[in-house]
Structure 1
Amino acid sequence: MIWFIGIGGALGASSRFLLGNLLNKKSLFPAGTWLINVTGSFLLGWLAGLHLAGQISEELWLFGGVGFCGAYTTFSTFGYETITLLQSKKLKTAVAYITASLLAGGIAAAIGLLI
């Protein structure tokens, strides 16, 4: 079973790296990490809903929910980028990033869970 998590995690981390590098190029707002965390929250909510309803196997849950989404989304990068914005004296951008991340992530997870 651990292999499902490992393979999903490798794919999630690789996806995060590629998409983050593509979208975060010299942006004032960490759009790549924000988009990754919102889409990952949606996907995790959707998979959790399917898993709780017994509509996907334990293996698919471990691969997609635990492995892929766990490695794709990244709270540590969110924290790092927030601190970097604050150190750069970009308080308004940092507050907007925190607020947008929490609201959009929560809403995306809820929508994913409901569909």
Structure 2
Amino acid sequence: MKNIIAIAVGGAIGALARFSINMQAESPVGTIIENISGSFLLGILTAYFLIRLTKEWLRLGLGVGLCGGFTTMSTLAFDSVFLFQMESFFVVLLYLLITIFGGIIFAFLGFFLGNKLAEIQINKAEGTE
């Protein structure tokens, strides 16, 4: 039950954060920001939690809930169709390339950062900075 509650709370927070960004930045720019930063955060969390074991409800609440509620595949699909109707195929292709490859690159960067953060914390705990 803790896992379900953590995912629900994380998802609500992620969805509210996504909504807030969409109010500040017009689509598709907001969607790019959400998906790339969400991929970065998920990369950090994944690497960190691989090294620093933590409670399952926390891992699920932040990863599945928060990051899942914050990033959005449905808006990516909608923005792609909308851009195809209103702009050119080149604009759609550029949007998809930035979103997909940007997300992957930032997930890797986040993963490496999360790895380093976990290692630093382990070294501090062991007193071997």
Shorter-chain TM-score above 0.5: yes
Q: Which residue of 1 aligns with 2:43?
A: 45
Q: Mind listing any 5+ residue stretches in structure 2 that lack a counterpart?
A: 114-129
Indicate the RMSD between aligned Cα atoms, in angstroms.
1.3
Q: Mind listing any 5+ residue stretches in structure 1 that lack a counterpart?
A: none
The 5 A counterparts of 1:3-42 are 3-24=5-26, 30-42=28-40
- Aligned amino acid, residue 85 of structure 1: L
Distance 1:12 1:73 in 2: 8
Moved over 4 A (4+): none
Q: Secondary structure at the match of 1:2?
A: helix
Q: How many residues align?
A: 111
Identity over aligned pairs, percent: 37
Q: Which structure would you say has the larger Rg?
A: 2
Cα 1:57–1:50 change in 2 (3 A) is farther
Distance 1:106 1:87 in 2: 27
What CA deviation, in whole Å up to 9, does each residue of 1:44-82 have, x standing for no partner? 011011111134332221111110000100011001100
Q: TM-score if structure 1 supplies the norm length?
A: 0.90
Q: Which has the higher helix share?
A: 2
